[in-house]
A and B are shown apart, each in its own frame.
Chain A
Amino acid sequence: MKKNNRPFNMDERSKLVAYKVIAMMYFMTILSMQGVIMYKQFALGQSIHDFEGFAVIFLVNVLFLLAALLYFGAIPLRKLNLKSIALIYGLFVVLGLLFTFLKYNVFQKMGLSFIEIMDKIIIVVVLCSLILLFFAVFALLGKRKMNKELENKRYIIDFKLLSS
């Protein structure tokens, strides 16, 4: 059996504690960054264009966080039917439209015309479809990986049973 002689060798409990602390700090960092951005934007009145870099970081972060959770099976997906997928998609679209409306008509006070709003709706619908597709691909790849692992383990067990 391996000896644990290295001074900073983490055992399973230390790793578990470290993962919990890291996850908590990650969310606190994201939340505080958002707080700072909102303060700068709304209290100090800095331009929204100054925060485009942060917006990209947030977007990539959230997209890949959810994709990774789906891929590694951290989000338990039961058999999704068309109705629930349509519901999730609808929710994405409604939230997207709400944020777009708030962004342009409330925060930036641009007062978009009907044609401009229709343009934004098309963008929101296309973006929501792409995001959902992105998540679906990762969820399917994760499911395939899991099934492959389970199949390999079943073969090993079958082999052991046959040879005993």
Chain B
Amino acid sequence: MDLTIRRRDQLFGYFLTIPGLATLIIIIIFPISFTILTSFFDYTLITPNHDVFVGFENYYEVIEEDYISDSVVTTAQFVFLTVFIELIVGFSIALSLNNIHRFKNIYYLIMLAPLLMNPVVVGLMWKMILHTELGIINYLLKIINIHRFNWLGDNSLAFVSIIFVDIWHQVSFMTILLLAGLSALPKEPYEAAKMDGASGLKCFIHITLPLMRPVIIVAILLRIIFSVKTFDIIYIMTKGGPGISTDLISYFIYRSAFFSLDISRASALSVGLLLSVIMFTLYLYKNMNYTNKHG
């Protein structure tokens, strides 16, 4: 009797998960499986079927690709700089907001505004702001007699501009996560530390940072994953240029698929990117968690 009821409950449980699982299969599992499958075949848009199995040939092609290493290095630099600066800036803002009690909601609203914007809108907006001839930045610089810059047309400036725009757009995500962590921290260890003779800075180093470590890890991991995938602002603002100075891996894949029309190679690249992100995330999570447990 008991067993029958349990079995019935289990079946009902499975039944309830069907809509969720179906959605998951359609929008996640199917595209990923299709991409993995395609990466092992010679798949062209003229004959869109999996007839010619080529094994790892697409992967070898990707490795031998001329500009792939440049794109990987650019992406790595982009990810490191955006996540690192966002962590520092986001943590500083979160710490200040955590100590503010008046007009907190207004600050929240101002801070959240960029995050609520569509990345395409952000890209278009900043493209205008940074425009060499019509942009407000160059106009303001001109007022104070500084020569205008070609923000998105100069090799090194374009990379810096893209990083700046990404930070402007995403820093509030980091801030919100860290602020949630900070506001959930227990008050008592701070009081105990004060009684033990700790100053504000010592409290931050010895109490806040260690207690915040799990939240910081999650925030960094999420931002790394999002940052590696950055596509919209590149597509809108620079299209990977000038030259290949902002050619992030996601845009590189897009070009392979929709400019070179090499779907198989783009699939192999996507699978490679997915695997590297998974491996890197696991490595980071394992390492940071280890120090958290034993540090």
A and B interact physically: no
Residues of B within 8 A of A (CB): none
